[in-house]
Structure 1
Amino acid sequence: MKNLLSACLCIVIAFSSASQSSRIKAEKYPSLLWEISGKGLKKPSYLFGTMHVSNKMVFHLSDSFYIGIKNAQVVALETNPGNWQEDFSKYDLEGESMRYNLGRYFSRGNGSTPQDYLTSNSLKLQPFEKWMEAALYSNPSLINNFLYRNNSESGSDFEEDTYLDLHIYQAGRKLGKIVCGVEDFHGSMKLVKEAYADAAKEKKKSRSVDYDDDFSYARMEEAYRTGNLDLLDTINKVNSQSVAFDEKFLYKRNDIQAASIDSILRTGATLFAGVGAAHLPGERGVIEYLRRQGYTLRPIRMKERDSQHKESIERIRVPVQFATQTAEDGAYSVKVPGKLFSFGLSGGALDMKQYADMTNGSYYMVTRIATNAAIMGFSEAQVQRKLDSVLYENIPGKILSKKSILRNGYKGYDIANRTRRGDHQRYHIFITPFEVLLFKMSGNGDYVRLGTEAE
């Protein structure tokens, strides 16, 4: 399940932990960015090889990269990030990762291991202030995978606010482009599952156990940084462990992606397509497929990093339209700019729902914490004191303000905070006789502080 989740969220990471030998010279595929022309195209389109991470290493993007996006009518990625939440809601992936995340929290100091997944029943054994701590402390892994792909707090100084694929998506959306995918999400999921199944059945593995520094992850990063697709292609092949896996996970998807690109170009629209860099090179890669279809593909060398274009795009805020959503039992109503999706852990002591604004890089969460305080003999004042006692340690970063509020007869708090990364967040927390309701909004940098979305 972990392998499947990783593969599905990245959707196209076709690199094994690999890179390429600096002794091999890039000759045939010397760039990540390619101009597509010929075959009657009136204006050039562009093909770009991405890497599905937020590491600064992949953000050495020149003005030609941003000009390509600005000049395009259509921006295409492997699958459309704008549809991911609806797509992923049909798969039981978040439940396991969410239980792992919360289980890791509850295991602090009690001797249990992270593998002891949290369940609704185990939550009922915890004092309800522990449930409140978990709700404040937990950072859903699916939100991170959708919006940020940040590896750790310690590594945040070496990462951008989002990963490269979503940066392309956000640039397209903010510049008013049509955004789409060159693969069908469910078709990709099917191929991924089949690839793992075929690899498991394959008796003869294609790679030896010998390790070669020339094909390490560090060398792969070096190859990507320099746009050396020949090196990446060699590393992919050297580190391949299954011919059957590669056939469906890489080559079959190459064909699907290239055919979709061809279909878009046939409409006469100008295109900027970003797919995983491993899909581009080689005789069975996207570049050669398009050449066989009659297109001319020319490498564009990316030289100096263009931070001005990047920062100007990041400053654009796309307006959102809020709609009221009401809990199934009518316990609350909240305005959110999209559908709230349930996590795997719901219907028990903790019920969490979320919506990620993929364009602006923000998210909204609603968490219900069952206290049954009225039945257990706790007064509202006692629950409030317990809530007060856990705020300081479990609200991320620094609490900037804390105000008492009253809504429909229920007391609560309006809390503003700033994380160590510098991201502003906003909480509205209300106490009822049977539960604590927590409404949270978070976004990159000053997005929450400067806008009205959190009001």
Structure 2
Amino acid sequence: MIARYLHRSFFKAFFLSSTLLLLAFNGVAQKKLPYTLLWQISGKGLSKPSYLFGSLVLKDSRGFNFSDSVFKAIEASTAFVTEEHPDSAANNLFYLINQSSANTASVLPKTYSLTTLDPKQTAAKAYLYGIARTLNKKILALDGATKNQAVDESAEDVVEAVEEDEQNALQEEMESILTAYQNGNLDEVWKKIQYYYEEDETSAGNVKELFNRISKLLATEQVFGVFNFPALTGNEGLVALFKNAGYTVRPVDASFTAVGQGYVVDLGKMQRYTYQDQQANYSVSFPSAPLSSAGNRSAIKTYHDPLNGVIYTSTSLYTGPLTGFTSAQYADSALANYLRLSKMELVKKNPINKFGASILEVTLKGEHKHAKTWLLHTNGTFYSFTAEHKLDLLTDPYIDLFFNSIQISEPKAITSSDWIDYKHKIGAFSIKILYSPKK
């Protein structure tokens, strides 16, 4: 339920692109209804409480004055839980939002850093994820529990297409919804927006599956779960389901002091993931686990950072010993072919030596991105390591963590103990091979 389809297309686009995730902020003291954005789950054998937080997928910078209880609940928990893992970059709403907002030069502060995250430059749910990562909490996903498709439409195009009186009505309706969410009462927000949600997207079956998966996690983790608020509300929502299952569920009171200022997103403090490729004999450190893909005879690892928008890629291609080329000439040829086929422009080329090999370090510039790449050929294998970003931030020290972590080792001699027995039941054959085959 990271995003839902709204009943009318113009409202759908306006709603999802006019604000990000609006949380209760100053002025909460004036509300009359109880604060119900954050819920505590306890009892039924739980040694420590877990938490559910109701989010609203909106696009408004006013949503970053979090209550003290939100930060304290994240710190007290062992796992940050969402429907979809923020690192699933291919279908990641966090990443899509960040690419359209945090990477626009006109809105960035002059001292923009890839290491520290400005709340105004990202989605609020991504910001909470960043707080959890900074505190080195586990990041867990309940993929498949609910439908999870973002609406990709332009609010400007939609607003231009409707009549002026409809625009005014939409604006008034949005302000009403934002005011209700600002006051921190989920039931009140749901009353105002319920009409616009597709019926199948709020089905009891989806929420029940979400409940089952969270329940299993409670046996081993203290959960801080962030879910689209309709999943929490109503007689068939998560709050009611946990109560009916015998847990003690209560809303956590909100207070707004300077406590939140002590919590910042600091990518430099986050645990990194070291990827090791035993077949290609190299290792490299990514901010988190990369995605795998395969090219034409090449193995590719890619990580899209949902917090600062940097895209990291490592590629290895076994060629065997070079004939008629030196390693440096091979790298030059690979660069020339890439420039010919792409729309990138060569900015700088710098040969360096490492691992006993000649590395071609290049800086590239395209219409919508900047890239820094290492190209090298050694041990019968061609390697490329790349970091790219929409802005020219490739000299940021945070980028160096990726390149400085690269290690390439000599191939080890194969012994009889390295071979494994592979049996194919359907084909009724067995064979000794070095690595388990990919299916």
The TM-score by the shorter chain falls in which range? 0.5 to 0.7
State which of 2, 5, 8 in structure 2 corresponds to 1:12: 2
Is residue 255 from structure 1 mapped to residue 208 from structure 2 by the alignment? yes
Tell me the CA shift for residue 48 of structure 1. 1.0
Match for residue 246 of structure 1? 202
Cα distance in 2 between the residues matched to 1:310 and 1:442: 28
Match for residue 94 of structure 1? none
Match for residue 289 of structure 1? 241
Match for residue 190 of structure 2? 233
TM-score (norm. length: structure 2):
0.57
Tell me the CA shift for residue 281 of structure 1. 2.0
Tell me the CA shift for residue 440 of structure 1. 0.7
Is residue 46 from structure 1 mapped to residue 51 from structure 2 by the alignment? yes
State which of 425, 437, 448 in structure 1 corresponds to 2:399: 448
Q: String of CA shifts for 1:23-45, please: whole Å, max 9, x gaps.
A: xx987663422233455655443
Tell me the CA shift for residue 69 of structure 1. 1.2
Tell me the CA shift for residue 67 of structure 1. 1.1
Letter of the aligned partner of 1:13 in structure 2? A
- Is contact 2:71-2:260 (8 Å) kept? no
Cα distance in 2 between the residues matched to 1:415 and 1:60: 42
- Is contact 1:356-1:362 (8 Å) kept? yes
- Is contact 1:448-1:454 (8 Å) kept? no
- Is contact 1:32-1:49 (8 Å) kept? yes
Tell me the CA shift for residue 387 of structure 1. 7.4
Which has the bigger relative contact order, CA under 8 A and spacing at least 6?
A: 1
Tell me the CA shift for residue 61 of structure 1. 2.0
| 2:405 aligned counterpart, secondary structure | coil
| Structure 1 residues 142 and 395: CA distance shift in structure 2, 3 A | farther
- Is contact 1:14-1:279 (8 Å) kept? no
| Structure 1 residues 281 and 41: CA distance shift in structure 2, 3 A | same
- Is contact 2:349-2:363 (8 Å) kept? yes
| 1:448 aligned counterpart, secondary structure | helix
Match for residue 104 of structure 1? none
| Structure 1 residues 411 and 239: CA distance shift in structure 2, 3 A | same
- Is contact 2:49-2:222 (8 Å) kept? yes
Q: String of CA shifts for 1:227-283, please: whole Å, max 9, x gaps.
A: 342343124322134x34432xxx322222234444444x38543222122322222
| 2:269 aligned counterpart, secondary structure | coil
| Aligned-CA RMSD value | 5.4
- Is contact 2:301-2:313 (8 Å) kept? yes
Letter of the aligned partner of 1:172 in structure 2? A
Cα distance in 2 between the residues matched to 1:79 and 1:314: 21
Higher helix proportion (structure 1 or 2):
1
State which of 305, 323, 337 in structure 1 corresponds to 2:276: 323
Cα distance in 1 between the residues matched to 2:337 and 2:176: 49
Match for residue 296 of structure 2? 347
Cα distance in 2 between the residues matched to 1:32 and 1:429: 50
Tell me the CA shift for residue 68 of structure 1. 0.8
For 1:57-72, list aligned pairs within 5 A.
57-72=62-77
Match for residue 213 of structure 1? 170
Letter of the aligned partner of 1:347 in structure 2? N
Tell me the CA shift for residue 323 of structure 1. 0.9
Match for residue 115 of structure 1? none
Tell me the CA shift for residue 404 of structure 1. 1.6
State which of 140, 144, 153 in structure 2 corresponds to 1:180: 140
Match for residue 405 of structure 1? 352
TM-score (norm. length: structure 1):
0.55
Q: How many pairs does the alignment contain?
A: 343
Tell me the CA shift for residue 72 of structure 1. 1.8
Structure exhibiting the larger radius of gyration computed from Cα positions:
2
Cα distance in 2 between the residues matched to 1:52 and 1:417: 35
- Is contact 1:13-1:52 (8 Å) kept? yes
Match for residue 312 of structure 2? 364
Letter of the aligned partner of 2:236 in structure 1? R
- Is contact 2:374-2:384 (8 Å) kept? yes
Cα distance in 2 between the residues matched to 1:269 and 1:436: 43
Match for residue 142 of structure 1? 90
Query: Percent identity over the alignment?
Result: 19
| Structure 1 residues 179 and 224: CA distance shift in structure 2, 3 A | same
| Structure 1 residues 454 and 165: CA distance shift in structure 2, 3 A | farther
- Is contact 1:62-1:302 (8 Å) kept? yes
| 2:3 aligned counterpart, secondary structure | coil
- Is contact 1:36-1:298 (8 Å) kept? no
Cα distance in 2 between the residues matched to 1:52 and 1:365: 30
- Is contact 2:282-2:406 (8 Å) kept? no
For 1:27-176, list aligned pairs within 5 A.
30-39=35-44, 43-51=48-56, 56-81=61-86, 84=88, 142=90, 145=93, 147=95, 149-152=97-100, 153-154=103-104, 157=108, 160=120, 163-176=123-136
Structure 2 unaligned residues grouped into runs of 5+: 7-11, 20-29, 109-117, 150-165, 318-322, 408-439
Tell me the CA shift for residue 80 of structure 1. 4.4
